[in-house]
Amino acid sequence: MPETLLDRRTRLLGPNVRLFYHDPLHLVRGKGTWVWDAAGRRYLDCYNNVPHVGHCHPHVVEAITRQAQTLNTHTRYLHENILDYVERLTATFGPQITSAILTCTGSEANDVALRMAQAATGATGIIATDHTYHGNTAAVSQLSTTMPPIGGFGGHVRHVPAPDSYRPLGGSPQTHATAFAAAVEAACQSLIASGHGVSGLILCPAFVNEGFPDLAHGFLTEAIAIVRRHGGVIIADEVQPGFGRTGPQFWGHVGAGFAPDIVTMGKPMGNGHPVAAVATSFEIISAFRRAFRYFNTFGGNPVSCAAAAAVLDVLKAENLPARAAETGAYLRDGLRKLAEKHSVIGDVRGQGLAIGAELVSDRASKAPATELADRVINAMRAEGVLMGANGIHYNVLKIRPPMPFGKVEADIVLQTLDKVLDGL
Amino acid sequence: MPETLLDRRTRLLGPNVRLFYHDPLHLVRGKGTWVWDAAGRRYLDCYNNVPHVGHCHPHVVEAITRQAQTLNTHTRYLHENILDYVERLTATFGPQITSAILTCTGSEANDVALRMAQAATGATGIIATDHTYHGNTAAVSQLSTTMPPIGGFGGHVRHVPAPDSYRPLGGSPQTHATAFAAAVEAACQSLIASGHGVSGLILCPAFVNEGFPDLAHGFLTEAIAIVRRHGGVIIADEVQPGFGRTGPQFWGHVGAGFAPDIVTMGKPMGNGHPVAAVATSFEIISAFRRAFRYFNTFGGNPVSCAAAAAVLDVLKAENLPARAAETGAYLRDGLRKLAEKHSVIGDVRGQGLAIGAELVSDRASKAPATELADRVINAMRAEGVLMGANGIHYNVLKIRPPMPFGKVEADIVLQTLDKVLDGL
């Protein structure tokens, strides 16, 4: 019997490497918000945020091709692409963010950001939520709460409860923000007592892995003030909400109502080309450059910068952030109408095209329907619509499509979800 | 006065970001082994190993373009590109290496390799040379001997003296290998005593950063046996010598005469496209997959694999590893002839197109001519030939050009170096 694609994958890539869906997809082609499998079947992509301006966008492909034909080298030589790009990128932030280091992955960006916070403060303690993911390097993996690394956790991380707007601490948005701030204060005190000190707080401003909670503008104000009072800096991990996904405010932290000291970004930045960045103030980048010798051979090469610049071009030319806000609102409205019919949808939330629909087995107790969420995403896949499930209880349907997603595509999601929920 | 490119770079990328040459190059175009600056001047590239099969090789550009137009997504879906590539890659190694994880940078590859060694052994102690560089993540930077990180070194790294064939320990190749092995034994004992245990030894098989020492085949045999006796694994960092640079044996460790447990690779793998890998046995990859949850969004995407596959195509079609061996031998012969005339050249060494010429102020004492090496590379740049300087004393001229470099280009290097040394 010939070796299956799955067996071959295990042999070559190792065991326990997760694939999406019980019946994994073998994709061969993508265009806009659609992908095709090897049998020629088309699927609506409601999940992938990496092909940000659409799968295989011709403007991005052309920019990559043109620069790859011309020159691709490192930043020990002068080149205008990286400077032009960092100029355009930093112009999208508040005045405190002026400079950037380009890397190849969001993990590398967060690995640098943690050291920037150390260089800026002289401390090593760091605070994150207890249901987050910031990347895969050894240092960044220390922020995880699962799977203790060999040699153990370093003792310099404190976790605070991931915000859950559907089950707010203390029962209301006000008590929730205060309780969150109290947890941050306790984490700071613990880091000070342990001698690590407070280098900062790292969070995704839209808490995407935590299940897209709907938090009041200013929810984080008190917590952030506490971190700063203890000398720490604020790192906004914009790998998921950044580049207009939440709407014309462009960055998740604008929607959340705070100004970070350090911003990291990755996935959508080059529409799939491996490019990522850490942006910060001139003061913090200088402290980092003094404390650490950092050079990234591929980081900021002319091709990566051309890809990233092309993504900014398309976002503007096609007015995608405004479209994301509009389509997202339309889709959330539709999901709320579906919730009137299907009591399993306990909560609908999110911003722009980062949308969560939380499934519960009982609305009164809000008991998470985790197993059901898994069945739903697999049934949706069978119907040709690709989405995921995440959140604290892994029961939140995750809809995070490429940005050209429009009302036509939203209607397909709504009709298909209605059919799938009817069939359960 | 308008802002200079240098000032703009400092403002946007931060201070203390090193550039090559006193008069930095502003490159705009590359082809084969040549690059052009903004004024239209052509330079012979004797330094860059990233554009491995030549700057902007059309076969690689076409492979990137074709796949970028078709599909670019992550490895949670099935795709044949990554499997086909890992199959081709592992076929270039001995039978112990069967599987691989694809990352975006050599730093990420080494960050994973260190954790693979931990997973395979349960220990965390690691041995490296005292003049090496394996990358830029927080974990990998711990291998460095310079610039202690904030919070200090972790205490789990032991350094052994970088091999220097020009000044062998004990005075001969035999005493050198024995002394190196004794240093490795002492490092193992120290790691065991400190409770870290021996997870492994990581080294560049050609010791490129250490200055390309000419070591006898089997120099490392005793040291490697010691590490294995203490339960550790051997990591060959092939980021610099790999992919045929040292000749048809294809990998540095083959030339050095040992079979590693884990191999990391990066820079030349995608001819500039950010792709890198860690290859190992099924047993070790399985131990890693069990101990760590690892996923790299961009790692192993279809475009990166297409770029990497195209590099393998060109290496074979243009017979570049054999050409590298031939051109390298020709260039080393020429350098040795130059050394007869210029006593400042104390030693010429290397393999294939990884060539070092060590400059000394006095051949009897072998006193390093570090400042002179800096003057030479800047004078060569002024004459249109780009090379670097490295080694333990930063006095080794580093010639490591793209692989299509031939005898015509070698003659240009030799004539220009003769002229520059005449003018000193």
Amino acid at A376: V
* Residue of B27, B78, B271 lying closest to A79 (CB–CB): B27
Task: Give the B window 341-370 contacts with A, CB below 8 Å.
Answer: none
Give me the amino acid identity at A169.
Answer: L
Answer yes or no: are the C-beta atoms of B144 and B135 closer than 8 Å.
Answer: no
* Residue in B25, B86, B111 to test binding to A, most A beta-carbons within 10 Å: B111
Note whether B30 contacts A72, CB cutoff 8 Å.
yes
Q: Which residues contact A365 (CB under 8 A, 6 or more apart)?
A: none
Mean pLDDT across chain A: 97
Per the confidence metrics, is the pTM higher than 0.90? Answer: yes
Instruction: Give the confidence band of B214 by pLDDT, cuts at 50, 70, 90.
Output: very high
Residues A328 and A294 in one domain: no
Closest-approach residue (CA) in chain A for B277: A13
- Which residues 146-205 of A have a C-beta within 8 angstroms of B? 146-147, 149-151, 156, 196
Q: Answer whether B236's CB lies under 8 Å from B197's CB.
A: no
Residue from B254, B239, B252, B402 nearest B318 by CA: B402
Strand A262-265 vs strand A233-237: parallel, antiparallel, or unpaired? parallel
Phi, psi torsion values for A278, nearest 5 degrees:
-125, 120
CA–CA dist B233, A343 (Å, integer): 56
Q: Judge if B395 and B250 occupy the same domain.
A: no
Alpha-carbon gap, residue B246 to A174, rounded angstroms: 65
SS3 for B187? helix
Q: Do residue A349 and residue A230 come from a single domain? A: no
Q: Which residues of A touch B14 (CB under 8 A)?
A: 99, 101, 282, 285-286, 288-289
B290 to A16, B117, B294: CA distances (angstroms): 7, 13, 10
Interatomic CA distance for residues A77 and B13, integer angstroms: 13
Q: What is the mean pLDDT of chain B?
A: 97
> Residues 62..81 of B with a Cβ closer than 8 Å to A: which?
64-65, 68-80
> In which residue are the tokens 């960006």 written?
A109
| Domain shared by A27 and A65, yes or no | no
Enumerate the residues of chain A whose CB falls inside 8 A of the CB of residue B80. 5
B398 vs A172: CA distance, rounded Å: 65
Give the separation between CA B78 and CA B76, rounded to whole angstroms.
7
B:221-260 residues touching chain A, CB 8 A cutoff = none
Same domain for B91 and B206, yes or no, is yes
In terms of Cβ atoms closer than 10 Å to its own Cβ (0-12, 13-18, 19+), residue B212 is buried
- Residue A168, phi-psi category: left (phi > 0), alpha (psi -120 to 50), beta (remainder): beta
Distance from CA of A213 to the nearest CA of B (A): 24
Average pLDDT over residues B169-179: 95
A202 and A348 assigned to the same domain: no
> β-strand B354-362 against B367-368: which pairing, if any?
antiparallel
**Average pLDDT for runs of 10 along chain A of length 424:** 93 95 97 98 98 98 98 96 98 98 98 98 97 95 88 93 96 96 98 98 96 94 98 98 98 97 98 98 97 95 98 98 98 98 98 97 98 98 97 97 98 98 94
Sorting pLDDT into bands at 50, 70 and 90, what band is B1? Answer: confident
Report the length, in residues, of chain A: 424
What are the pLDDT digits (tens) for A395-405? 999 999 999 99
- Whether B281 has a pLDDT exceeding 90, the answer reads yes
pLDDT recorded at residue B147: 79
Positive or negative torsion for Cα A14, A270, A237, A162: negative
DSSP annotation string for A374-401: HHHHHHHHHTTEE-EEESTTS-EEEE--
pLDDT tens-place string over residues B301-358: 999 999 999 999 999 999 999 999 999 999 999 999 999 999 999 999 999 999 999 9
Work out the burial of residue A247: count CB atoms within 10 Å of its CB; fewer than 13 is exposed, 13-18 middle, 19 or more buried: buried
- DSSP 8-state secondary structure symbol assigned to residue B396: E
Which of B5, B55, B118 is opposite residue A71, by nearest beta carbon?
A: B55
Strand ranges inside A85-230, DSSP E: 99-103, 125-129, 157-160, 198-203
Question: What range defines the domain where residue B278 resides?
Answer: 58-317
SS3 A313: helix
Q: Shortest CA distance to A279 belongs to which of A113, A76, A138, A105?
A: A113
Option in A76, A291, A304 nearest B150 (CB):
A291
Quote the strand ranges of B24-177, DSSP E. Answer: 27-31, 34-37, 42-45, 99-103, 125-129, 157-160
Number of domains present in the structure of chain B: 2
Domain end, chosen from A317, A345, A376, is at A317
Q: Vertex B185, ends B182 and B190: CA angle to 5°?
A: 125
Does A249 share its domain with A362?
no
pLDDT tens digits along B106-132: 999 999 999 999 999 999 999 999 999
Distance between B114 CA and the closest CA of chain A, angstroms: 9
Pairing of strands B262-265, B233-237: parallel
Contacts of A13 in chain B (CB under 8 A): 75, 82-83, 86, 99-101, 285, 300
A412 HSE (CA, 13 A, CB side): 20
| Residues in A touching B25 (Cβ below 8 Å) | 77-78
Selected residues 113-132 of chain B with any CB under 8 Å from a CB in chain A:
114-115, 118-119, 122, 124
CB–CB contact B64 A68 (8 Å):
yes
Tell me which amino acid residue B420 is: V
Chain A residues close to B26, C-beta within 8 Å: 77-79
SS3 label, residue A219: coil
Q: Is the pLDDT of residue B393 over 90?
A: yes
> Are residues B343 and B201 part of one domain?
no
Interchain contact, A292 vs B29, CB within 8 Å: no
Q: Report CB contact under 8 Å: A73, B50.
A: yes
Question: What residues of A are in contact with residue B301 (Cβ under 8 Å)?
Answer: 272, 274
* Residue where a domain stops, chosen among B317, B348, B371: B317
Contact: A297, B50; criterion CB under 8 Å: yes
At which of B271, B292, B317 does a domain end?
B317
Q: Which of A276, A255, A249 is nearest to A50 (CA)?
A: A276
Asked whether the beta carbons of A206 and A236 are under 8 A apart, the reply is: no
Asked if A5 has any chain B CB less than 8 Å from its own CB, the reply is: yes
Contact B141, A295 (CB under 8 A): no
Residue B152, pLDDT > 90, answer no
CA distances from A25 to A20, B68, B79 (A): 7, 19, 9
Whether residue B103 contacts residue B296, with contact meaning beta carbons closer than 8 Å, is answered with yes
* Domain match, A233 and A338 both: no
Calpha distance A281→B286 (Å, rounded): 42
> Is the domain of B253 the same as that of B343?
no
Q: If phi over 0 gives left and psi between -120 and 50 gives alpha, with beta otherwise, what is residue A262?
A: beta
Predicted local confidence at residue A105, as pLDDT:
98
Give the nearest partner residue to B137 out of A50, A75, A139, using CB atoms. Answer: A139
Residues B229 and B349 in one domain: no
**CATH number where B103 lies:** 3.40.640.10
Question: What is the Cα–Cα distance from B216 to A418, expressed in whole angstroms?
Answer: 71
- Chain A partners of B23 at a C-beta cutoff of 8 Å? none
pLDDT at B158 over 80: yes
Whether residue B328 sits in one domain with residue B267: no
Q: Which residues pair with B198 in a beta bridge?
A: B125
For residue A37, give the CATH number of its domain: 3.90.1150.10
Output the pLDDT for position A21: 97
Determine, for residues B73 and A65 on separate chains, whether the beta-carbon distance falls below 8 Å: no
What is the H or E stretch that residue B421 is in? helix B407-422
Task: Report the gap between the CA of A150 and the closest CA in chain B (Å).
Answer: 7
